[in-house]
Structure 1
Amino acid sequence: MHHKIVALDAWNVPIPPSLLQLPRPHTYELVNLTTQVSSTEAIQNALQDATIVATTVTPLKGSTLAASVTPKLQLIVAIATGTDCIDTDLAAARGIKVVNCPNANTETVTNHVLAMYFASRRHLVQLHNTVLETDEWTKTFALTSVLNDPTGSPPMTCRDETVGIVGYGAIELQAMPRHALLINVSRGGIVDETALLEALRAGSIGGAATDVFLQEPSGAGNFWREGDSPLLKVDAAEAGRLNLLVTPHVAWCSTTTFHNYLQAFKRHVEDWCAKN
């Protein structure tokens, strides 16, 4: 059987043409879309004859998964940990197999969490901006006060910290100590962003760092619009005062993750072909 494999997000995660070694009698042609497609019509046109599709963020939902639009589609590989962009129920109803790439970014996200922790606990962004944008250092001779938490205490070290990993369930922001940091690298919407911003403004917690948001992508500060992430109503100056650190959903990104994604994609496609 000959397969047309379409990599919708090759602009983000390109797939090498020689990556796959399909078992006989399977053969394939690979189409890497190196320009992002956003309209439903463009997505559907790209997938007309596809039997296998790889996606990271491009949505596969609604009419795109109709048998009349993608009649040959049999396998969808989410080159990501989650399958948020895929209507898995609709795919299952058509007998289309959906697989993802869990654990591919575990090491990289862990690195990002540690970077966020140290930057937040040590107020690195605030210190950087204060030195470069003001004359406070020359006036005061010391900027140690920038490091203080909402209680006025100097920062803790790793030995003093208590780490809580929140999985299922909920934790109330008001129950957290005032020196606490909240770090979110899971999914947008897991944290009540409006409540978090209120807690930061009230000095109820010591700071927050997040790589994920309720709305993505999202404008911030002067570029914020209705419907954007509530947490990003702040500008850089207020974020500094609140000890709020944000990154644009990039905690997963590294050479290690790209390698793991490609190996997982290779394994999924070759295993599926071997069984069909």
Structure 2
Amino acid sequence: MPITSSSLPSKPTVIFLDVGTIPEQIKVPNLTFEHQWQQFDFTNEEQIIERIHAADIVITNKVKLSAEVLAYAPNLRLIAVAATGTNNIDLDYCRENNIAVSNVQGYATRSVPEHTIAMMFALKRNLVGYHQDIAAGVWQQQKQFCFFTHSISDVAGSTMGVIGSGSLGKAVAKLAEAIGMQVIFSERKGAKTCRAGYVAFEQVLAQADVLTLHCPLTETTTNLISQPELQAMKANAILINVGRGGLVNEHDLIEALKSQQISGAGCDVFTQEPADESNPLIANMDLPNLILTPHVAWGSDSSIQALYNILMDNIVKFQQGSRQNRVV
């Protein structure tokens, strides 16, 4: 049967499984209907079933809701994802069991592009390398007013290759063009023909001075960039991944940085989050041509506030019978 507001009780139980992903300074909009609210800063795998068992509505950012755990939530009628990506939700199970899924889109079209551009400038001007050299006393040893232990590249006049042409990819392209870059959008890997306005994947790899990833993580995009793709890039190129960790083979990326197959990389996302010392990026974070941030590209205060506003409005609209931002 179709999912409607009548599927919910008059006072539904709403549970936020990982509210700790929202900074304390963000103002929480109120749900405009009677409800019972529960929230948890963090929910580990062993706690999910107990916490969602009596829920009518579940809010999650990154907590994984598989078919195995969803089977223990007989009252569940809506999963409101506090993000754009829904790869942590078993969407097939939700379709088969009359559970609606909504997500939040378009909230970080300033924050993510600015983070991308910031990483690009830092890598092209080797800011990390120079910071490390000063800390190591190189400046004092040189006895000059400046020193040049790393190359410094201008960004204007270079080429940015963008993989992913959604709102974020387009917003990054707009900023890049504003600072004098040529932007090319990549066609899907393996495509036999190119759509109008796109360039073949292999050609983008060969031409890009900056390659930036803004596509979703799917079976076809997992390890989208690995050793063959890195080898096909320019030696002075940099790679920026603010999309999903699994888009890049992390072991191959580290080898490419160490062997100078590419010039640098900036990563805001990891295959497992939080990442620990077993992750090759973390284990090699002292490399001067590698910049790591903890999945915060989306996280300006204004973007998170917009996300939270849309998230809560999605729930209200569902209660009213609307299909706003519905994935399922």
Show the 5 A alignment for 1:30-179. 30-34=37-41, 36-40=42-46, 42-66=47-71, 69-132=72-135, 134-140=136-142, 141=144, 144-148=147-151, 155-167=152-164, 168-169=188-189, 170=201, 171=205, 172-179=229-236
CA distance in 2, matches of 1:48, 1:194: 39
Q: Distance in 2 between matches of 1:178 and 1:17?
A: 47
239, 242, 245: which one pairs with 1:182? Answer: 239
User: How many residues get paired?
Assistant: 250
User: Who is 2:31 aligned against?
Assistant: 20
In 1, Cα distance between the equivalents of 2:88 and 2:110? 23
Q: Deviations over 1:146-198 (max 9, x none)?
A: 331xxxxxx22221321110233254222222211111111112122222222
Q: Which runs of 5+ in 2 are unaligned?
A: 1-9, 165-187, 190-200, 206-228, 323-328
RMSD over aligned CA atoms reads 2.0
Identify the range of structure 1 (190-199 vs 79-88) with the bigger mean alpha-carbon deviation: 190-199
Structure 1 residues 165 and 142 mapped into 2: Cα distance closer, same or farther (>3 Å)? farther
Normalized against structure 2, the TM-score is what? 0.71
User: What is the DSSP-based 3-state SS (H/G/I as helix, E as strand, rest coil) of the residue aligned with 2:247?
Assistant: coil
CA distance in 2, matches of 1:195, 1:98: 35
Cα distance change on mapping 1:90 and 1:143 into 2, 3 Å: farther
Letter in 2 for 1:52: I
Structure 1 unaligned segments of length 5 or more: list them.
149-154
| Distance change (3 Å), C-alpha of 1:71 and 1:119 | same
Report the identity percentage.
Answer: 32
Deviation at 1:124, TM superposition (A): 1.1
The residue type paired with residue 185 of structure 1 is V
What are the residue-to-residue correspondences of 1:183-198 with 2, within 5 Å? 183-198=240-255
Counterparts of residues 230-249 of structure 1 (less than 5 Å): 230-236=280-286, 239-240=287-288, 243-249=289-295
For 2:36 and 2:27, the matched residues in 1 are separated by 12
Letter in 2 for 1:38: N
Residues 22-65 of structure 1 deviation map (CA, whole Å, 9 limit, x = unaligned):
3xxxx21221223x12133x222222221111000112113321
Distance 1:10 1:216 in 2: 16
Task: Tell which has more relative contact order, 1 or 2 (C-alpha 8 A, sep 6+).
Answer: 2
Look up the SS of the partner of 2:266 in the other structure: strand
Match of 2:319 in 1: 273
1:107 and 1:64 map into 2 onto residues whose CA distance is 35
The residue aligned with 1:5 is 14
Structure 1 residue 145, shift from structure 2 partner: 2.4
For 1:98, what is the secondary structure of its paired residue? strand
Q: Give 4+ residue runs of structure 1 displaced > 6 Å after superposition.
A: 14-17
